Amino acid sequence: MKRNRIQRYSAPERINHWIVALCFIFATVSGLGFFFPSLNWLMQILGTPQLARLLHPFIGTVMFFAFLLMFFRYWRHNLPEREDLLWAKNIHKIALNEEVGDTGRYNFGQKCVFWAAIASLLLLLASGIVIWRPWFADAFSIPTIRLALLVHSVAAVGLIIVIMVHVYAALWVKGTLTAMVEGWVTDRWAHKHHPRWYRTLRQRQPK
């Protein structure tokens, strides 16, 4: 670890993240093609509409289990804390790119994105299994399949919104994208945005 840099994400963590991101892009684009007739051409991202219908559920399944690895890595860091209430109360300052409170590895906004993403993915997986032809759909009644289609669509929209917020925040806070591309952040970035996490890491360093 260089004195003026801190490792935020290891190579396996970054690879895991980008696998999820790539699957999200393919699943979202092909899914929008299924949902809107005028966007059928988007299914060509996976070759042909027929191939897209075949691959879409498999890609979604890979995305779920890849995110599940992230969940097991980070869930402890995303548990609610007292500092989160202070962060939420001062959201107007956060919007002006100020930092509030003694934030750990993740702030309250990041925690909301994390839990909303896993909730959306659980709904997508459960509803996706019900509507997955020819493997599972025949085991369910038509009303159940219709309900699953509604849940799948709503959960998909929810996940798209969550990821849009995530991407916007990553681009808005300078230095955040570097962490997920190269793995490191500067001391100044860590001290400003995640001071408690920064202190914890520095205390672990050998003198």
**What is the set of active-site residues?**
166
Stated as kind and residue range, the H or E segment containing 164 is helix 142-172
Residues listed for the chain: 207
Question: CA–CA separation, 58 vs 47, rounded Å?
Answer: 15
Whether omega before 134 lies within 30 degrees of 0, making that bond cis, reads: yes
Nearest to 65 by CA among 16, 106, 31, 30: 16
* Residue 191: Cβ within 10 Å count: 16
Question: CA–CA separation, 98 vs 190, rounded Å?
Answer: 14
Nearest to 172 by CA among 126, 128, 107: 107
Question: CA–CA separation, 133 vs 58, rounded Å?
Answer: 12
